[in-house]
């Protein structure tokens, strides 16, 4: 979605929330720090006047030393506060993103590119540091310091205030405005392309085996290089604008400093200002550009940050497919029923007028042609999607009225792919049941016929999955997935091709375990294999809608 820069900036500022007091403190310390720095050359000027007049200059020297010391302390405190805010906010934003992903998962995430999401969570969020640590307070500091300096110049002569105002406005306002206008679209497209390259890179790493096997690795690499070239072009444009901005701001600083000196000299010659004012005015002008230089550098530096902000807001504004029910009914999950359901992902229906009563204490086996909607039926029973017409009932209550957490607690699903986390085998199984004892975990693993294999690993249940690399076979991973389902104690088990990677011996042991566990549970087993389905208590043949 396209947003104006103002919309992106105000949404990003919205995250500051309760930390606004720290931002205000950082701004005040920044203003005081810059004023201390501006005072040093002006005091130096006064010091020279005192020396020339043979008056005591030591108090001025000590004030300069004090200003220099305070400049260091205040600058440190300002930067520390800004970075404290930035890193706190980045952590908060990551939390917001994960909560959003949880709300969007799994329906919306099925269609999202993983590499793109990784870019968003990592580099895009990192880039926001520029905004929180180097944008909000520098903008306010530049405004306040410039205002103080304009008023100071005004106390000498109104035309000096006007000239100072034009100088600050040009370097800190007009210049970054025009520079950012020309780089903003490049900045957005730069972030989009970065994410796209990450996505292609991840895809390449995942699919490297297929690419090598079919001799397509070089073609894939060329494609990537092509995309990287386009990306580098955008980066070059941004960097060139940055360089241009830097040289223009330096040239403007010199121009306005000389102009200020010439103008105050003319005012002095014509008796409009004192000799003291002639000294202060140019010194004040030359030493007060620091805050507006920071602003003019922002003009181009902010472009990729705004691009990152826009991508973040896109994700946060995305609507979940199903609303989470926070305070709903918590049934005992004894009866599941599908009543006259129509459902499709797009225009075509996958399920049409589909009805089914699923009894408890029995294993229901489902078979059907590939793409007929077996997994879709399971997703609807887990409320990953909502039906378009008809009802899904749990103990006679519409599934949309049931508390989502209760649904997740009582249902467990084993799919063809089991994801393993970077942790021990034990933790990879036990996370489904809080406080599960080792005996319970081992019992679940015995049911899934994976216990003996785990004991054969170097550190048994404490073996780290990452140490095994990708050496676990599909069948071993699948049995770990089944062990999770047995341990979870869920009353409803959805098993989607749970034996697709298993040999007949493992299949037989697991089917027996499933049959032994069916008492008091509702179990749906989806499979293409006749051997898996032959002992099911009930069978359903699904056809295409």
Binding site for ligand ATP (CB under 6 A): 110, 345, 350, 368, 370-376
Report the residue number, 157 or 374, with the smaller CB distance to ligand ATP. Answer: 374
Report the residue number, 270 or 370, with the smaller CB distance to ligand ATP. Answer: 370
Nearest approach, Cβ of residue 192 and ligand ATP (Å): 23
Residue 385's SS3 state is: coil
Report the residue number, 139 or 199, with the smaller CB distance to ligand ATP. Answer: 199
Nearest approach, Cβ of residue 197 and ligand ATP (Å): 25
Report the residue number, 448 or 526, with the smaller CB distance to ligand ATP. Answer: 526
The DSSP annotation for 289-353 comes to: -HHHHHHHHHHHHHHHHHHHHHHHHHHHTPPPSS---SS-B------EEEEEEEE-SSSS-SEEE
Report the residue number, 72 or 474, with the smaller CB distance to ligand ATP. Answer: 474
CA 425 from chain centre, in angstroms, equals 29
125 contact partners, CB below 8 Å, separation of at least 6: 90, 93, 94, 97, 308, 312
HEC string for 11-65: HHHHCCHHHHHHHHHHHHHHHHHHHHHHHHHHHHHHHHHHHHCCCCCHHHHHHHH
Q: Are 294 and 151 in contact (CB under 8 A)?
A: no
CA 385 from chain centre, in angstroms, equals 24
Report the residue number, 379 or 479, with the smaller CB distance to ligand ATP. Answer: 379
Tokens of 231: 């990306």
HEC string for 128-169: HHHHHHHCHHHHHHHHHHHHHHHHHHHHHCHHHHHHHHHHHH
Nearest approach, Cβ of residue 335 and ligand ATP (Å): 23
**Distance (Å, whole) CA 529 – CA 533:** 7
Nearest approach, Cβ of residue 322 and ligand ATP (Å): 13
Nearest approach, Cβ of residue 368 and ligand ATP (Å): 6
Nearest approach, Cβ of residue 37 and ligand ATP (Å): 59
Nearest approach, Cβ of residue 372 and ligand ATP (Å): 5
Output the CA torsion sign for 314, 111, 348, 374. negative
Report the residue number, 218 or 319, with the smaller CB distance to ligand ATP. Answer: 319
Nearest approach, Cβ of residue 519 and ligand ATP (Å): 28
Report the residue number, 374 or 451, with the smaller CB distance to ligand ATP. Answer: 374
Q: Are 304 and 5 in contact (CB under 8 A)?
A: no
CA 462 from chain centre, in angstroms, equals 32
């Amino acid at each position: 979605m396209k947003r104006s820069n103002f919309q992106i900036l105000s949404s990003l500022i919205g995250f500051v929330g309760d930390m606004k007091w720290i931002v205000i403190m950082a701004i005040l310390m920044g203003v005081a720090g810059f004023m201390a720095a501006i005072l040093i050359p002006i005091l130096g000027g006064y010091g020279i006047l005192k020396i020339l007049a043979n008056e005591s200059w030591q108090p001025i020297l000590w004030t300069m030393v004090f200003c220099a010391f305070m400049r260091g302390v205040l600058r440190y405190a300002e930067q520390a506060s800004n970075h404290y805010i930035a890193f706190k906010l980045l952590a908060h934003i990551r939390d917001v993103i994960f909560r959003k992903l949880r709300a969007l998962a799994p329906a919306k995430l099925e269609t999202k590119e993983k590499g793109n999401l990784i870019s968003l969570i990592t580099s895009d969020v990192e880039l926001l540091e520029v905004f929180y640590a180097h944008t909000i307070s520098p903008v306010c500091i530049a405004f306040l310091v410039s205002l103080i300096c304009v008023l100071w110049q005004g106390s000498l002569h109104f035309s000096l205030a006007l000239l100072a105002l034009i100088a600050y406005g040009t370097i800190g306002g007009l210049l970054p405005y025009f520079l950012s206008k020309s780089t903003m679209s490049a900045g957005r497209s730069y972030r989009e392309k970065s994410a796209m390259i990450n996505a292609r890179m991840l895809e390449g790493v995942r699919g490297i085996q297929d690419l090598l096997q079919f001799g397509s690795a070089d073609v894939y690499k060329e494609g990537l290089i092509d995309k990287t070239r386009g990306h580098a072009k955008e980066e070059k444009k941004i960097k060139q604008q940055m360089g241009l901005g830097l040289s223009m701001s330096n040239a403007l600083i010199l121009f306005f400093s000389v102009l200020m000196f010439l103008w105050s000299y003319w005012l002095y010659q014509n008796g409009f200002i004192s000799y003291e004012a002639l000294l202060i005015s140019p010194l004040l002008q030359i030493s007060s550009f620091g805050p507006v230089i920071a602003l003019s550098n922002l003009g181009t530096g902010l472009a990729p940050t705004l691009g990152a902000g826009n991508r973040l807001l896109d994700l946060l504004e995305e609507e979940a497919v199903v609303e989470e029910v926070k305070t709903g009914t918590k049934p005992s999950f004894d009866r599941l029923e599908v009543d006259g359901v129509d459902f499709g992902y797009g225009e075509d229906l996958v399920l049409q007028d589909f009805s089914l009563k699923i009894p408890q204490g029995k294993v229901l086996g489902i078979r059907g042609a590939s793409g007929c909607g077996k997994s879709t039926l399971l997703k609807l029973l887990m409320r990953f999607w909502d039906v378009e017409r008809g009802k899904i009932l749990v103990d006679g209550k519409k599934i949309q009225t049931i508390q989502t957490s209760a649904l997740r607690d009582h249902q467990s699903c084993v799919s063809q792919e089991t994801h393993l986390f970077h942790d021990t085998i034990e933790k990879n199984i036990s996370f489904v049941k809080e406080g599960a004892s080792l005996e319970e975990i081992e019992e679940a693993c015995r049911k899934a016929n994976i216990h003996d294999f785990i004991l054969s690993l170097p550190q048994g249940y404490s073996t780290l999955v990452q140490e095994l690399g990708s050496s676990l076979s599909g069948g071993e991973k699948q049995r770990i997935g089944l062990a999770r389902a047995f341990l979870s104690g869920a009353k409803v088990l959805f098993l989607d091709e749970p034996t697709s990677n298993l040999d007949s011996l493992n299949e037989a042991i697991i089917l027996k375990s499933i049959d032994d566990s069916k008492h008091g549970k509702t179990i749906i087993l989806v499979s293409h294999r006749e051997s898996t389905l032959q002992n099911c208590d009930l069978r359903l043949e699904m056809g295409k809608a």
